[in-house]
Structure 1
């Protein structure tokens, strides 16, 4: 009984490490991310591609209200997987940091800088009592000094830069597809098709209409969402 009560203490409290050095609540937050539909990020030779599978649970629901990809600044976008409400909170933080930087320094914020500030905020929720970690991961892609960059955040507050990555449902399978098919010099139009095909292999019911895509190209450094017809054309 004593051992069970100790196990529950490690299990329920975010501020207590287990004897083997684990924070169970952070691990549970990662499991919440895995239950969300997949989102991907691909660094192309001439930009960044963000893709997300939108699963609409009911035919009566307006599909446009299911958001998985967000504009952060003119040159930065983000895609999420996990709890939608947690994602909305993190997107607000990203947008605020981008706006504050423009107002303070009259220049766009760096992609790595905005990700670092977001993860600083996420990390606070892993060491304070009375709160829980964010049950969401975010892929942030943008152009920094003329170069495309893609980052992935973790509920623990850590982040990593990737050439191609995936979060959410079947993310391991999608990454394996990227490892087999990704090339450094891939252009954005082919990156869109690569992202779609990687997600399609692990989700049979996906269609171009349910796959949300945004591109940030190095030429204009402008965040642009593609229509379903544009996605279908690139895939075909």
Structure 2
């Protein structure tokens, strides 16, 4: 680190002279070291694909949960620090339930993501706390259709047709730029997403190390069974 940076990287609330928040940038680096996570839209829904590859054969793959239910029609996938992600998922669930109790309806996907990002942004503006070292891909459906959002440790959010986070993001985005098409079917999107994941991890995929969540218009958010994942992998 340059000596001039030392005075500005000790707190998340201090800007450097060139307008950077170093703690937020370090949090983004934590996300880059996370497992590869993919989101892709298709005709009538959104698919989340996560690599949950384990580092030891003694570890139970199912214990490394990377896809979470937030509401009946909204789910998310995470990359980065697992504990930080769990806190954000709990906050998202609380916001969704509070909205349902107050207004008697499911919360909109964009509204929920903005509330999550507002919560994250507070940890970049006030002293005594650090930014969250995690990013979320939020997939869901509401009256406006199917949505895919990506959150950032700074509290920013972006809507995507297809995206990836984690250590395989460059390979995933390169493939999506070349091959993604609007209006793909469920099978086409699943095959393309798994192809991107395979390119990112550079290993052969199997159903035990891949987790897939699906949000479809008119249906509740769900995870594909092992057989369902195997079928999509078999079409690669």
Question: TM-score scaled by structure 1?
Answer: 0.95
Q: Offset at 1:221?
A: 2.7
- Corresponding residue for residue 67 of structure 1: 65
Deviations 1:102-149 (Å, cap 9, x if unpaired)?
111110000000000000000000011111000000000101215111
Contact 1:188 1:215 in 2 (8 A): no
> Aligned match of 1:45 in 35, 38, 43?
43
| Distance in structure 1 (CA, Å) of the matches to 2:120 and 2:83 | 14
- Corresponding residue for residue 82 of structure 2: 84
| Distance in structure 2 (CA, Å) of the matches to 1:190 and 1:105 | 37
Q: Offset at 1:41?
A: 0.8
The total of aligned residue pairs comes to: 232
| Distance in structure 1 (CA, Å) of the matches to 2:10 and 2:193 | 37
Q: Offset at 1:83?
A: 0.1
| Runs of 4+ with >4 A deviation | none
SS in 2 for 1:81: strand
SS in 1 for 2:208: helix
Deviations 1:7-42 (Å, cap 9, x if unpaired)?
222011111111111000000000000000111111
Deviations 1:51-107 (Å, cap 9, x if unpaired)?
110021211111111011011111001000000000000000111111111111110
- Corresponding residue for residue 177 of structure 1: 175
> Aligned match of 1:149 in 147, 150, 161?
147
Note the aligned Cα RMSD (angstroms).
1.2
Contact 1:26 1:126 in 2 (8 A): yes
Q: Offset at 1:189?
A: 2.5
What pairs up with 1:77-226 in 2 under 5 angstroms?
Answer: 77-145=75-143, 147-205=145-203, 206-218=205-217, 220-226=218-224
Question: TM-score scaled by structure 2?
Answer: 0.95
Return 5+ residue gaps in structure 2 as ranges.
none
| Distance in structure 1 (CA, Å) of the matches to 2:7 and 2:53 | 36
- Corresponding residue for residue 16 of structure 1: 14
